[in-house]
Amino acid sequence: MPVEVLNLMRDMITSLLQPTGLDTSIIDLLTSLITVIVVILLCVLGRIFIKHTLIRLISRIIRNNRLAWDDFLLNRRLFDRISHLLPPIVISLFSPSFPAIKNWIEKGVNIYFAVVIYLIIDSLLNSAHDIYQTHKVSKTRPIKGFIQALKIAVILTEGIIVISQLINRSPLVILGGIGALTAVFLLIFQDSLLGFVAGIQLAANDMVRIGDWIEMPKYNAEGVVTEITLTTVKIENFDKTISTIPAHSMINDSFKNWRGMETSGGRRIKRSIYIDTNSIVLCSEEMLERFKGIELLRDYIEQKEKEIADYNASHNINLEEPANGRRLTNIGTFRAYIMNYLKNHAHIQRDMPLMVRQLAAEGRGLPLEVYAFTNTTKWALYENIQSDIFDHLYAVAPRFGLNIFQEPSGKDFSKALDSSKK
């Protein structure tokens, strides 16, 4: 039917031009030119009608309904790209009216059609990713890398179709030729292939998610994962700089993921106070009476005094020699105080490991290590809690007759020199 209408129009144009006395070849050329212009106008007018009437109507319906997923289709211009299918359809319907160039018209239409189909698939994939991002599972199972891989596959397929149209060969012939260039393609798409495989492994093993805080010293990266793509993983560092790491490096190299700490609800404190060993002594009766005035130690002192007295009595210990039997020390009492202090601290987790231990003595004194977990994982709050705890411990250590070890400074040497002169 379209061809018959177009032929009728061509006959009418020819009959109108014949009285002008122009040569037949010129009349045929003008007729073909006018016909082409008419076909182009039909395509343009049809496209304008769809864009300004149908798409506007569809947009209004989508904006006013309660569905959310169709908004993503609209934002990704899916319907606008579908409207681009009209011109090749119109041209293909009228192509038989131009037998001399019919093959060229069909090739051009097929190429145009392939490009439009790619744009439509691209919009669908982007919309699917946007819809997926609205679900919580997107934080644990990102699919952007898979979307990019699908886009590459579609581009390769469309490219083969376009090339087959240009050289007038079957796509299967081109695929056979590509097989011989596999090594070249592997070299060209090496990062993409490695990244695709790495993305599958990262997702399957749940090694990293968007929003995870990770450390990767090899790349000087420490921060939050903001994006996982086919070839790269983007990390926003704590100083707001962006590190881009190859996806396959997340498989080949080691990195630390702080997700376990965040999900546990507690962040570890592991820090030592260095005690000057010269200040460590056995507790005297006077010291013990003074320690009983500390609320966190009263029950501990009374229990230990009874336990030690029973032990010494049962073993007939000669208490005139301080080295005999069992006695409390200021370092042990201080350790018990720290333990009770942490147990009663409002910001320390009680259902997670908690201990105060001595490490091997070294040149800087005896390390007294605090090992505990705060009840928050937020960095700023964690640092404040940790600082407050050690502020208090440094301040109360002298109450137990203990000196915090500190390497001598220039001022200390000056004082020692002044004392020697006197």
**CATH code for the domain in which residue 179 is found:** 2.30.30.60
Same domain, 10 and 119: yes
Among 114, 134, 154, give the residue marking a domain's end. Answer: 134
Beta-strand relationship, 221-228 and 232-237: antiparallel
Same domain, 51 and 18: yes
Least confident residue range of 28-32, 128-132, 138-142, 393-397: 28-32
Q: Answer yes or no: is 317 within a domain.
A: no
Return the pLDDT at 386: 95
Q: Answer yes or no: is 247 within a domain.
A: yes
Tell me the Ramachandran region of residue 220: left when phi exceeds 0, alpha when psi lies from -120 to 50, beta otherwise. Answer: left
Same domain, 260 and 276: no
Same domain, 117 and 6: yes
Same domain, 197 and 208: yes
Q: Answer yes or no: is 34 within a domain.
A: yes
Indicate if the pLDDT at residue 149 is higher than 60.
yes
Return the pLDDT at 394: 95
Distance CA 100, CA 110 (A): 18
Same domain, 221 and 272: no
pLDDT-derived band at 395 (thresholds 50, 70, 90) equals very high
3-state secondary structure of 218: helix
pLDDT-derived band at 319 (thresholds 50, 70, 90) equals confident
Same domain, 117 and 212: no
pLDDT-derived band at 396 (thresholds 50, 70, 90) equals very high
Q: Look at 421 and 300; give whichever has higher pLDDT.
A: 300
Indicate if the pLDDT at residue 16 is higher than 60.
no
Q: Answer yes or no: is 213 within a domain.
A: yes
Name, in order, each residue with C-beta under 8 angstroms of 228's C-beta and a sequence gap of 6 or more. 142, 144, 145, 199, 202, 208, 210, 234, 247
Same domain, 381 and 275: yes
**pLDDT per residue over 336-377, tens digit each?**
999 999 999 999 998 899 999 999 988 888 999 999 999 988
Q: What is the mean pLDDT of residues 275-298?
A: 91
Indicate if the pLDDT at residue 201 is higher than 80.
no
**pLDDT per residue over 294-316, tens digit each?**
999 999 999 998 988 888 888 88
Same domain, 343 and 211: no
Q: Measuring CA to CA, which residue among 230, 271, 233, 225 is closest to residue 250?
A: 233
Same domain, 49 and 119: yes
Q: Answer yes or no: is 387 within a domain.
A: yes
Q: Answer yes or no: is 383 within a domain.
A: yes
Distance CA 31, CA 28 (A): 5
**Cβ(232)–Cβ(144) under 8 Å?**
no
Return the pLDDT at 65: 77
Domain count for the chain:
3
Radius of gyration of the chain (CA): 41
**Cβ(227)–Cβ(250) under 8 Å?**
no
Q: Answer yes or no: is 314 within a domain.
A: no
Q: Answer yes or no: is 78 within a domain.
A: yes
Provide the residue range defining the domain that includes 398: 267-281+329-411
Indicate if the pLDDT at residue 387 is higher than 80.
yes
* CATH number of the CATH domain containing 342: 3.30.70.100
Q: What is the mean pLDDT of residues 64-89?
A: 78
Same domain, 106 and 177: no
Name, in order, each residue with C-beta under 8 angstroms of 81's C-beta and a sequence gap of 6 or more. 116, 119, 120, 123
Same domain, 89 and 10: yes
pTM here?
Answer: 0.55
